[in-house]
Amino acid sequence: MTQNLTGQSILAGVRTAGNGREVHGYNPATNQPLEPAYSLIDEAQLKIATAAAAEAFTSFRALEPAKHADFLDAIAANIEAVREELVARAMAETGLPEARLNGETARTAGQLRLFANVVRTGDFHGARIDPALPERSPLPRVDIRQRKVPMGPVAVFGASNFPLAFSTAGGDTASALAAGCPVVFKAHNAHPGTSEIVGSAITKAIEEFDLHPGVFSLVYGPGASIGQALVSDPVIKAVGFTGSRSGGVALMETAAKRPEPIPVYAEMSSINPVIFFEGALADPEAQAKAYLGSLTGSSGQLCTAPGLVFVPAGGAGDAFVAAISGNAPSHSGQTMLTAGIYTSWVAGVEALGAQEGVELVGQGTEGSTENAPAPRVFASGVQQLNENPVLQDEIFGAASLVIRYESVEELDSALSKLEGQLTATLQLTEADYAQAAGIIPTLELKVGRILLNGWPTGVEVGHAMVHGGPFPATSAPQTTSVGSLAIERFLRPVAYQNFPEALLPKPIAQANEWNLNRLVDGTMTVAGE
């Protein structure tokens, strides 16, 4: 498995040993180190990557659509070509099961192909044309045209919980590359080998298409110092991050204090409320099993895990809680991603369990490996939730809190006091529609995605998906990090006034050589019509 791993960063296509200390990936099921050791770069070496990204930007942003799209497809194919080695290494570094990682590999390749099609279609250029109106009275209008241009090199940080789909060639990298932005990727030190395998696949595609090697760099470095240096570098024009609230806020503060502040697209903290109406509790046993399945999948280490569940007071709610208590022992703990995440989970569970008015209502069993704690479900009431901010703290792992509510009015009030979330889920029947309609406006102000009669774990990658939400779910609630709309994060509009045809960029030139859909004088003009 390690024969092709070098333990080195890839700085603009060049394997480079770091000048700093060495780190290992660890098998979280055994707490044993994995070879090879990875040497960490220093800030001077980081400058090699960012300077190369700046050099690459001019040619990369000017790629013809066909070559640009084919490049993204080639990355996907290169990743699929090393699937066996990749999945084996990711299993060793994360403790995640083979089926989950095979699915994540497919999702990673699928995201890249989705953005390849986005590039081919070209709607992301946002072409708008207001033709000149020289005879308009009282004042004529000059010709004004608009398109979106890439912002520049992007810093992307690997996520701990998705070693593939939110990592080296994950959604942030794929959308930035699709926008025409070179990427400097900071690998997560918990899965360095996985990152190197994928980084090699991207580098191979760059070589195959004879692109500037600065289009992509993979760096290993101390999280705080190199991460902060990367965000501070004047070459970097935007940041993609998935991780803790503290980590995301630290990057946001650094980016805001730069002489030229830049946007940070950080996905951070969410407890994803699930709201049960009484009609949905006709079969409490089935609902409890579905809830526990969603909570414990991937050891609860999903950003959309149901960490908060609202259940009505009364007999139906009592039966649901009883079913949780009865079914929880059949759920064994699964290996968590790292010993550090396990330690944080233990601290979070102990803090929640110690709060006044909170009781343990369901507990699974310890897993057979290291770092595999028994899942926990607690219960409390609306008053405690409203008055105690600890009850809103995210516990990253298989732990959740059930809140009993007395009325829809009390429920709506509690929802209005929640922090921003990625998702909210309504469990209901048609008989509950009238009550649900009253709280949907509240949820629209709190979350990025509202589900009916499902579970929030599992995020479809497509054109309509929103994976975002108000702070602290994300730092930029007007955007999404999943789906084709994610490309918008790394673009900005530019208007061209009174330009001759010879100087107009192709997306807004009169000839429409790229055959784009364009908004002409307020009316959508469809390519080919």
Q: What angle do CA 157, 231, 179 make, to 5 degrees?
A: 65
Which phi and psi angles does 513 have, rounded to 5°? Answer: -60, -30
CA dihedral 294, 315, 328, 279 (to 10 degrees): -20
Question: pLDDT exceeding 90 applies to what percent of the chain?
Answer: 98
Q: How many whole angstroms separate alpha carbon 283 and alpha carbon 295?
A: 19
**The pLDDT of residue 2:** 45
Do the two domains 9-268+480-488 and 273-452 of this chain adopt the same fold? no
Q: Is 1 exposed, middle or buried (0-12, 13-18, 19+ CB in 10 A)?
A: middle
- Checking if the pLDDT of 3 tops 70, the result is no
- Checking if the pLDDT of 4 tops 90, the result is no
Instruction: Kindly report the CATH number that applies to the domain delimited by 273-452.
Output: 3.40.309.10
pLDDT for 347-384, tens place per residue?
999 999 999 999 999 999 999 999 999 999 999 999 99
Cβ atoms 426, 451 nearer than 8 A: yes
Nearest to 103 by CA among 482, 491, 461: 461
The band of 529, judged by pLDDT with boundaries at 50, 70 and 90, is: low
Query: Which residues pair with residue 34 across a beta bridge?
Result: 25
Q: How many whole angstroms separate alpha carbon 112 and alpha carbon 336?
A: 28
Could you give the residue numbers annotated as active site?
267, 303
pLDDT for 234-278, tens place per residue?
999 999 999 999 999 999 999 999 999 999 999 999 999 999 999
Instruction: Kindly report the CATH number that applies to the domain delimited by 9-268+480-488.
Output: 3.40.605.10
- Checking if the pLDDT of 317 tops 50, the result is yes
Cβ atoms 31, 339 nearer than 8 A: yes
Give me the sign of the Cα torsion angle 426, 430, 432, 436.
positive
Q: Where are the chain's structural domains?
A: 9-268+480-488, 273-452
